[in-house]
Amino acid sequence: MEKVQEKVIIAHDLVKKFGTFVANDNLNFEVYAGEIFGFLGANGAGKTTTIRILSGLSKPTSGEVKVAGFDAYHQTEQIKKNIGYMCQKFSLYEDLTVKENIVLYGGIYGMSRTLISERLRELLEKLHFEEYENRMISDLPLGLRQKLAFSVAILHNPKIVFLDEPTGGVDPITRRQFWESIYETASRGITVFVTTHYMDEAEYCDRISIMSDGKIVALDTPAELKKQYNSKSIDEVFIKIARPATQGSPPLGGLGGRN
């Protein structure tokens, strides 16, 4: 697939420290428009920290970070206009219906009333969600909730969407469907930045980076990485390079980094 080589994310010597703990240690990577960028790493490798910085929820300690052309230190609100975000913890309002959640987020992103209802129709149709329109989120099974959360994350047609372990705890069929919608999203020109544990999913990405102990230890296309590490699968590559974990577990609460 021909990619337009416009860089939508630039991270140059990105460092994030929580006290003395270095969660992101001099990260260097670029993400191109329209690609599916896999962000791999063991638990505690620092993926969530990076994704929070890129989506304007957390500020880097040092280094140059640009997302959609905006600076991650001072232009977080402009970044937020241009991105979608779906985190590991499900975060739509469970006590609102499918429709109410969509209308709310459409409204927050400043979409017009007609555009919101248009998108709502499209979305319900695409997900075969018509019967769920007025159902409370808390009544939906996890797989459906995740699909919906993803749809909400791209409701406003962002330049980039960040998915932090979007398929955690979801059955294989739903995971497959989920990846189909990721492809479909990327084909619309939305850059997908996705973290995952599942190494089979990594194979679906255009390029992947593997993180270990806060550092990026590998970054290339899945095919190239397999060749380089003489492995049959990404799973094997991952085991070969992500094994030597030296820094140990981060301090509790360090990675979440909530205010």
Partner 1 sequence: MRTIFYLIRKEFLQIFRNKFISKAIFAVPVLQMLILVPAVTFELKNVKIAIVDKDMTSESRGLISKLDGSTFFRVSYLIFSENEANNLLHRNKCSMVIQIPSGFGKDIGTGKQGKLLATIDAVNASSAELSWAYLNGVILDYNTDLIKQNISTLPLGPVSRIEINNRYWYNELLNYKYYMLPGILVILVTAIGFLLAGLNMVREKEIGTIEQINVTPVRKYHFIIAKMVPFLLIGLIDLALGLIIGKIAFDIPFEGSILVMFLGSTIFLVAVLGLALFISTFSGTQQQYMFVAFFCMVIFILMSGIFTPYESMPMWAQDFNMINPVAYLMRINRMVMLKGSTIQDISRELYSLILIAVVFTTLAVRRYRKTA
Min separation Cβ 55 and partner 1, Å? 5
Please identify, using beta-carbon distances, which residue of 102 and 182 lies nearer to partner 1: 102
Min separation Cβ 96 and partner 1, Å? 6
Q: Tokens standing for 58?
A: 């957390």
Nearest residue to 9 via CA among 46, 39, 41, 45: 39
For residue 194, the cross-strand partners are 38, 163
| Contact predicate 161/86, CB 8 Å | yes
Residues that bind partner 1 (CB under 8 A): 52, 55-59, 76-78, 80-81, 83, 85, 87, 89-96, 100, 103-110, 257-259
Q: Chain-centre distance of CA 100, in angstroms?
A: 24
Q: How many angstroms separate the CA atoms of 159 and 78, rounded?
A: 12
Please identify, using beta-carbon distances, which residue of 93 and 183 lies nearer to partner 1: 93
Min separation Cβ 102 and partner 1, Å? 11
Please identify, using beta-carbon distances, which residue of 91 and 228 lies nearer to partner 1: 91
Please identify, using beta-carbon distances, which residue of 110 and 248 lies nearer to partner 1: 110
Please identify, using beta-carbon distances, which residue of 155 and 202 lies nearer to partner 1: 155
Min separation Cβ 242 and partner 1, Å? 27
Q: How many angstroms separate the CA atoms of 211 and 130, rounded?
A: 40
Min separation Cβ 104 and partner 1, Å? 5
Please identify, using beta-carbon distances, which residue of 46 and 222 lies nearer to partner 1: 46
The residues, any chain, with a CB within 8 Å of residue 15's CB and separated by 6 or more, are: 22, 24, 25, 26, 27, 60, 61, 62, 63
Q: Tokens standing for 179?
A: 């990846």
Q: Tokens standing for 229?
A: 């590490």
Q: How many angstroms separate the CA atoms of 254 and 216, rounded?
A: 19
Min separation Cβ 61 and partner 1, Å? 12
SS3 for 116-145, per residue?
Answer: HHHHHHHHHHHCCCHHHCCCEHHHCCHHHH
Min separation Cβ 117 and partner 1, Å? 13
10: number of Cβ within 10 Å: 16
